[in-house]
Structure 1
Amino acid sequence: SFLLLCQYSCLPWKFQGFSADECYFSSPELVIPLKVTGWGRNAKVPGWLSYSLRFGGQRHIAHMKVKKFLVSRPLPVFTYTDQRSLHQDQPFVPDDCYYHGYVEGVPNSLVALSTCSGGFRGILQINDLAYEIEPVRFSKTFEHWVYRLDVDDTQFPRMRCGLTEEEIARQLELQELHNFTLTQSSYTGWWTHLRLLELVVIVDNLRFVHSGSNVSVVQNDIANVVNIINSLYHPLELDVTLTGLEIWTEGNQIATVTMDKMLEDFAIWKFFNLDNRLPHDAAHLFIKKSFGMQLGLSYVAGVCQYPLNCGTDVFEDESLYDFGLIVTHELGHNLGMLHDTQFCVCELQYCIMFPSRTVTSKFSNCSYGEFWDNVMRNGFCLYSAPDPERIIRIKYCGNLAVEEGEECDCGTIAQCTRDPCCLPDCTLKPGAACAFGSCCRKCKVSSAGTLCRKQINECDLPEWCNGTSHQCPEDVYVQDGVPCSDGAYCYKKRCADRDGQCREIFGRDARSASQRCYEEVNTQGDRFGHCGVSDTVYIKCAVADILCGRVQCANVGVIPNLKEHSTVHQFHVNDTTCWGTDYHMGMSIPDIGQVRDGTRCGQKKICVHSRCVSMVREPQACQPETCHMKGVCNNKQECHCNPGWAPPYFGDAIQPSHSLSSTSPPAPNPFQHQTLFQ
């Protein structure tokens, strides 16, 4: 342990800091945000909120939508007892009150607000001007204060990091020597568009005391800061999620003499006390102590590299936006970004990695390049979703999840006052038989025969309540291989055919292209035509599998409006134009252009995993005759009765009140006969 401690305490490593210029507020303006419910042709889709605010001499309309998964749920919060032993809690953290958006008519704008405390709190960036908004306490008319953030450009010299070009070269050489980076070739997931940075925040004792020694106040402030950070990193397609919080409630765990020594000590403390307890991609210490002109310090390219994936940030005043910029800057260093030079530009006057404090919301071209370069070499952890084994979950009454020993769970006391069936102690109210489930209506179990899950297509099966359970029976569907429309077969709850797939993509007049199109395109082995991907290589379709690669369409009259990163292509074969879509590596949206499993590709053949395979299979335990032709075999090899017929012999029609087995739910109308087999 001593040798390891010495190694990390003496390890030379490049770090950069953020210098402190005087940042101050203008005189506040009193505003009352007015909700905009409709605004003509620019009306937003559901999920967006619009508010009109007048400040800075003109009226602005802010459009925003909820930012989900900003804070890990449950969020582990660690504090210390008066005996300095570690205590863990998992308080309720709302996930529907943080918003991201923009200001109408201003391309270079940013909105990051929260409504968790009853009003708007956060920032609005309009070109080079930034405004911070917060609710007026005890206001009955939804009043808010709006402050304009200014920076004193007359203060010189502006301190900056003393890292020289020679030192950068030396540290890069040191990184290679110690093998701190993973190369692109060693991580096959480098291409993904989704990146997630799991951030752990440690708050020092002075900041805790400054917040009235109130853990809830600290937690709320940190969540608001992370909301701002997340909005600033959104253009880089990086989600910053708060996955853990530790508050030094009983004194600091390390000395805070100088910032560089504190950063080094924090990395050592983190290595022995935090890294195994609370895994993270980056951890930052928020401190309320002045270090002269320095506002932060962090290890360059330290992300994913324990214990150097950390930084320290001075949280001295009350401006969440100002502090959010500081943390964003220092996280930028962790992600491989250096300070901007005269050749680095963005849409605004200053960029986030400018060495001195400023008001901005944009990264420079230099920062983008440095970010991509480091992520490709070193950011392997950013591509991994949180490991379920690492997610700490504590079962307790009030978390809105019905767990062992609970009859229901209506959440907080305030939420339970609106629940007609459940009590705050997670038991049912007197007279209530249930509190949730699709077979629960007005705290009573629905009668047998009540439809609880509709049939969505001809290869699906409906389900009805059985009269005894508040839950709908298991979702089942027609047995694979049963014929369905247009000579296709049911497969995994779907009747798949290429004509239908083309209509879904290119409109009702589209149809599947000729076999020549499939042969010409799918044997290319590129993102427009292939039969799967092996590591990073597109696989060319064998001739026998060409109908199972990318779907090729004809008779296309309209180019569809596809989601981000999607591309439509056309390929000319003789007198035919073949249309299709690409799906390149790293896309997180469903692939609409891959021929679906179960699609017919020949006589008694279907596509499975981009291969055309025979439907010959072992005899099934359930056949139409098993159900006496008055039912259908489902995917569990059981009979699913047609409406009006009862198992086991299907000899007599039944009344709706009669209960059937769990695999043959009763139909509400015995005379509405449904036949799936002729």
Structure 2
Amino acid sequence: MQSKNAQLIFIHRTFKTSNWSSREKFSGAEQYEIVYPQKLHAVHRRAAGTSSESKYDDIVKYGIKANGEEVVLQLQKNRDLLAGDYSETLYSADGRQITTTPRIKDHCYYGGHVEGDAESVASISTCTGLSGYFETRGQKFLIEPLGASDRDEHVVYKYEALKQEPIKTCGLVNNSWEQDSSDPIKAIFRSSNSPEMKAYLKSKKYVELYVVADNALYKKYDEDTKNVRQRIFGIVNYINTVYKAINTHVALVGLEVWTDGDKCPLTRNAGFTLEAFSKWRRSDLLKRKRNDNAQLITGLDFEGTTIGLAFMKSICSDAFSAAVLLNFHFKSKPANMNWDLIGMCEAAGLYSQTSPWGGKSQVWGQEPEVGDPWASGQAGKNTT
């Protein structure tokens, strides 16, 4: 007990904040704190097969201040962020497809919680300092680095302190969570009264996700595929933090960057872009790479207030399990992701696999009919 108290005293003394000395460096929030995270001693366990030369520990702890209070982020590396057959596809200047299967043994993406708060969650990247999102005691916080390491200055601010931006929403047909769009994961549990559905929600589920970055996004990241990769990995890591509540793991099976130009017609009309991307997935992608769901992250700005669009009840459908999303502030807009962004929406109660990285989908009840939703006018409608 004495050693624990001593550790807490040490944490308190090593927390550092400044009186807004770096305000000129950050303009993303109205109010924020400047902090210096303190990396705390943790048990350095390594997963089986992990090299002792790994740059990033499997388990890390950081002490920071949030809203004037000391908090400890207890983080564990997302070992299953990438599927076993993860691949990356780029294109040469003359349009040749270049696909590699990098064996990424080490990475810097973590999930976890705030010590002492069983209801808390955290999704953090430690690649270049601490960057990500954590929620504790009903309050949402974001942390961003102002330097290049975890020892440099960081900003911590509340989600509510973000500077006002135009409200963006996710498009979905017949969204039964419209009255509680702030937390659709909780809505799933409230609407799941049958013993079968409750048993399903407790069972382990897996989704193999394929992400495509369009040419506009590639250019926004200065045509640097490393930066695009970091962005996508961070998004998938965050999605896993959210879906953990319904015992669902999302593994990135592939990343494709349209480096030489877009492979299907894309416009600022979200409905048109979703249809075009879905057709490209069926005619091209599925012939060379299996996936449960494909996402297009675009650097374009959709018309109106739409941030993303997906087919409803499509996760079990080879034909329509696709979605299109803006490159929005995912870490800065957790409430706006609406979780239908990986096409699960109400299909979240339908999907299960027999094994983590293969096997046929098993469905409670009937699988959604695979017709042409565009012909019936059922796709591309926004619930804004």
TM-score (structure 2 length as normaliser) = 0.68
Distance (Å, rounded) in 1 between the aligned partners of 2:239 and 2:263 = 26
Contact 2:167-2:305 within 8 A present in 1 as well: no
2:112 is equivalent to residue 137 of structure 1: no
> Against the structure 1 CA distance between its residues 63 and 191, is the aligned structure 2 distance closer, same or farther, given a 3 Å change threshold?
closer
The answer for the alignment partner of 1:35 in structure 2 is 39
Distance (Å, rounded) in 1 between the aligned partners of 2:38 and 2:312 = 44
Distance (Å, rounded) in 2 between the aligned partners of 1:139 and 1:279 = 37
> Against the structure 1 CA distance between its residues 324 and 252, is the aligned structure 2 distance closer, same or farther, given a 3 Å change threshold?
farther
> Against the structure 1 CA distance between its residues 127 and 72, is the aligned structure 2 distance closer, same or farther, given a 3 Å change threshold?
same
**CA-CA distance at 1:75 after TM superposition:** 2.7
The answer for the alignment partner of 2:60 in structure 1 is 49
**CA-CA distance at 1:195 after TM superposition:** 1.0
2:354 is equivalent to residue 383 of structure 1: yes
Q: Which residue identity lines up with residue 348 of structure 2 in the other structure?
A: F
The answer for the alignment partner of 1:224 in structure 2 is 234
2:156 is equivalent to residue 146 of structure 1: yes
Q: SS of the counterpart of 2:331? A: helix
Larger radius of gyration between Structure 1 and Structure 2: 1
> Against the structure 1 CA distance between its residues 154 and 224, is the aligned structure 2 distance closer, same or farther, given a 3 Å change threshold?
closer
The answer for the alignment partner of 1:301 in structure 2 is 313
**CA-CA distance at 1:91 after TM superposition:** 3.5
The answer for the alignment partner of 1:77 in structure 2 is 88
Larger strand proportion of the pair? 2
Find the partner of 2:283 among 272, 297, 302: 272
The answer for the alignment partner of 1:536 in structure 2 is none
**CA-CA distance at 1:97 after TM superposition:** 2.7
Q: SS of the counterpart of 2:83? A: coil
Contact 1:206-1:288 within 8 A present in 2 as well: yes
Distance (Å, rounded) in 2 between the aligned partners of 1:149 and 1:92 = 36
Contact 1:299-1:310 within 8 A present in 2 as well: yes
CA distances 1:601-652 after superposition (whole Å, capped 9, x unpaired): xxxxxxxxxxxxxxxxxxxxxxxxxxxxxxxxxxxxxxxxxxxxxxxxxxxx
Contact 2:170-2:307 within 8 A present in 1 as well: no
Contact 1:55-1:146 within 8 A present in 2 as well: yes
**CA-CA distance at 1:243 after TM superposition:** 0.6
> Against the structure 1 CA distance between its residues 253 and 127, is the aligned structure 2 distance closer, same or farther, given a 3 Å change threshold?
farther
> Against the structure 1 CA distance between its residues 272 and 76, is the aligned structure 2 distance closer, same or farther, given a 3 Å change threshold?
same
Q: Which residue identity lines up with residue 274 of structure 1 in the other structure?
A: L
Q: SS of the counterpart of 1:208? A: helix
Q: Which residue identity lines up with residue 371 of structure 1 in the other structure?
A: A
Distance (Å, rounded) in 2 between the aligned partners of 1:165 and 1:325 = 16
Q: SS of the counterpart of 1:276? A: helix
The answer for the alignment partner of 1:371 in structure 2 is 348
Contact 1:208-1:215 within 8 A present in 2 as well: yes
> Against the structure 1 CA distance between its residues 126 and 99, is the aligned structure 2 distance closer, same or farther, given a 3 Å change threshold?
same
Larger helix proportion of the pair? 2
Distance (Å, rounded) in 2 between the aligned partners of 1:385 and 1:138 = 35
**CA-CA distance at 1:194 after TM superposition:** 2.0
Distance (Å, rounded) in 2 between the aligned partners of 1:134 and 1:154 = 18
Contact 1:72-1:242 within 8 A present in 2 as well: yes
Distance (Å, rounded) in 2 between the aligned partners of 1:256 and 1:328 = 23
Distance (Å, rounded) in 2 between the aligned partners of 1:288 and 1:66 = 29
The answer for the alignment partner of 1:64 in structure 2 is 75
Q: SS of the counterpart of 2:82? A: coil
Distance (Å, rounded) in 2 between the aligned partners of 1:121 and 1:145 = 9
Q: SS of the counterpart of 1:254? A: coil
**CA-CA distance at 1:147 after TM superposition:** 3.5
Distance (Å, rounded) in 1 between the aligned partners of 2:337 and 2:73 = 25
**CA-CA distance at 1:96 after TM superposition:** 4.9
**CA-CA distance at 1:250 after TM superposition:** 1.2
**CA-CA distance at 1:307 after TM superposition:** 2.2
Distance (Å, rounded) in 2 between the aligned partners of 1:139 and 1:154 = 29
**CA-CA distance at 1:200 after TM superposition:** 0.3
Q: Which residue identity lines up with residue 286 of structure 2 in the other structure?
A: D
Q: SS of the counterpart of 1:150? A: helix
The answer for the alignment partner of 2:344 in structure 1 is 335
**CA-CA distance at 1:82 after TM superposition:** 1.1
Distance (Å, rounded) in 2 between the aligned partners of 1:310 and 1:247 = 16
Distance (Å, rounded) in 2 between the aligned partners of 1:164 and 1:191 = 22
Q: SS of the counterpart of 1:261? A: helix
Contact 1:26-1:149 within 8 A present in 2 as well: no
Distance (Å, rounded) in 1 between the aligned partners of 2:170 and 2:209 = 25
CA distances 1:112-134 after superposition (whole Å, capped 9, x unpaired): 1122x242222112244322223
The answer for the alignment partner of 1:262 in structure 2 is 273
Q: SS of the counterpart of 2:278? A: helix
Contact 2:78-2:110 within 8 A present in 1 as well: yes
Find the partner of 1:204 among 206, 210, 214: 214
Q: Which residue identity lines up with residue 241 of structure 2 in the other structure?
A: S
> Against the structure 1 CA distance between its residues 212 and 74, is the aligned structure 2 distance closer, same or farther, given a 3 Å change threshold?
farther
Distance (Å, rounded) in 1 between the aligned partners of 2:228 and 2:69 = 34
Contact 2:203-2:247 within 8 A present in 1 as well: yes
The answer for the alignment partner of 2:3 in structure 1 is none
Contact 2:202-2:246 within 8 A present in 1 as well: no
Q: Which residue identity lines up with residue 321 of structure 2 in the other structure?
A: N
Q: SS of the counterpart of 1:383? A: strand
Contact 1:79-1:88 within 8 A present in 2 as well: yes
Q: Which residue identity lines up with residue 278 of structure 1 in the other structure?
A: K
Task: Point out where structure 2 has 5 or more consecutive residues left out of the alignment.
Answer: 1-27, 47-57, 177-199, 360-384
Distance (Å, rounded) in 1 between the aligned partners of 2:340 and 2:77 = 26
**CA-CA distance at 1:154 after TM superposition:** 9.4
**CA-CA distance at 1:156 after TM superposition:** 9.7
> Against the structure 1 CA distance between its residues 209 and 254, is the aligned structure 2 distance closer, same or farther, given a 3 Å change threshold?
same
TM-score (structure 1 length as normaliser) = 0.40
> Against the structure 1 CA distance between its residues 102 and 327, is the aligned structure 2 distance closer, same or farther, given a 3 Å change threshold?
same
Q: SS of the counterpart of 1:123? A: strand
**CA-CA distance at 1:48 after TM superposition:** 4.1
> Against the structure 1 CA distance between its residues 300 and 244, is the aligned structure 2 distance closer, same or farther, given a 3 Å change threshold?
same
The answer for the alignment partner of 2:327 in structure 1 is 315
2:292 is equivalent to residue 281 of structure 1: yes
Alignment: residue pair count? 297
What is the alpha-carbon root mean square deviation over aligned residues?
A: 3.4
